Amino acid sequence: MSDGPVVLVRFGVPIPITRALVGDYSLWFQRALGDEPLGVVDLRDPDERLPRDAAAVIIMGSPQAVYDAHPWLARAQDEVRRLLADEVPLLGVCFGHQLLAVARGGVVERNPRGVEVGTTDVHLTPAAARDPLFGEFDGRLRVNNSHDDAVVRLPEREPPTLLGSTGKDPHQVLRWGARAWSVQFHPEMQARETRLAVDWRSPRLASEGGDPLAVRDAAQDSPDGVRLLRRFVALARGAS
């Protein structure tokens, strides 16, 4: 059992209107995890470091694209590879999911199947039934998505285990090792954050034939997302 902190890794902030209405990404996780104290490290800042005694690390989403030439991207990939090698409990979310993929040799591109935003069903694979994190779910999670990009090719060397997919993203849930997972969806997002995400992504959604108003109206809270985050922290802290 680890008494160290659960650390959120930041690579960006919400657009101003979203931040004003629902706060920074770290607050979304804090609301989901209740009294669990969370630290925040911004790896875009060369002076910030991940604590070596972290009980777990969650890499949050970002409006940045993981395939752009960010000056901090090489360092971010090195940190991911270190966390994986050291078997630190790790969860990548959206941008974090994509960062794990490129750090291990996968490919991320603008999703050729289109933007995925709103409340969606993630269908789990048979392997998920035996997984310590996803095995508690009965074949499906109802969660919230918001992404333009996707993992389009998995790493060929040491490929992850596929645990879940949606119609627009066959690589929604991946397991990278004994204590590392990543999800393209946002377990921390509830209905109000999701409605704001739909507003932000409505131009692309409409251009691809979607109905932003209908998607917005259908947004729901996600007890499955909250349950997943709490299960991850419990596993990191040694609960069975």
- Over residues 85-95, the pLDDT tens digits come to 999 999 999 99
**Containing structural domain, residue 194:** 6-236
What H or E segment, with its residue span, contains residue 206? helix 191-207
Tell me the pTM.
Answer: 0.97
Question: Beta strands 6-10 and 38-42: pairing type?
Answer: parallel
Q: Is residue 201 part of a domain?
A: yes
Tokens of 111: 């999703």
* Band of pLDDT at residue 2, cut at 50, 70 and 90: low
Q: Is residue 1 part of a domain?
A: no
Question: Beta strands 116-124 and 56-59: pairing type?
Answer: unpaired
pLDDT digits (tens, 9 = 90+) for 29-51: 999 999 999 999 999 999 999 99
Question: Left (φ > 0), alpha (ψ -120 to 50) or beta: where does 209 sit?
Answer: left
**Number of folded domains that form the chain:** 1
Q: Is residue 82 part of a domain?
A: yes
Task: Determine contact, residues 193/144, Cβ cutoff 8 Å.
Answer: yes
pLDDT digits (tens, 9 = 90+) for 66-114: 999 999 999 999 999 999 999 999 999 999 999 999 999 999 999 999 9
The DSSP line for 1-45 is: ---S-EEEEES----HHHHHHH--HHHHHHHHHTT--EEEEETTS
CA atoms within 13 A on the CB side of 34: 8
pLDDT digits (tens, 9 = 90+) for 146-194: 999 999 999 998 899 999 999 999 999 999 999 999 999 999 999 999 9
Q: Is residue 155 part of a domain?
A: yes
Q: Is residue 147 part of a domain?
A: yes
Tell whether the model's pLDDT for residue 239 goes beyond 70. no
Q: How much is the CA Rg of the chain, to the nearest whole Å?
A: 17
Q: Cite the active site residues.
A: 94, 186, 188
pLDDT digits (tens, 9 = 90+) for 116-156: 999 999 999 999 999 999 999 999 999 999 999 999 999 99
Residue 216: CATH number of its domain: 3.40.50.880
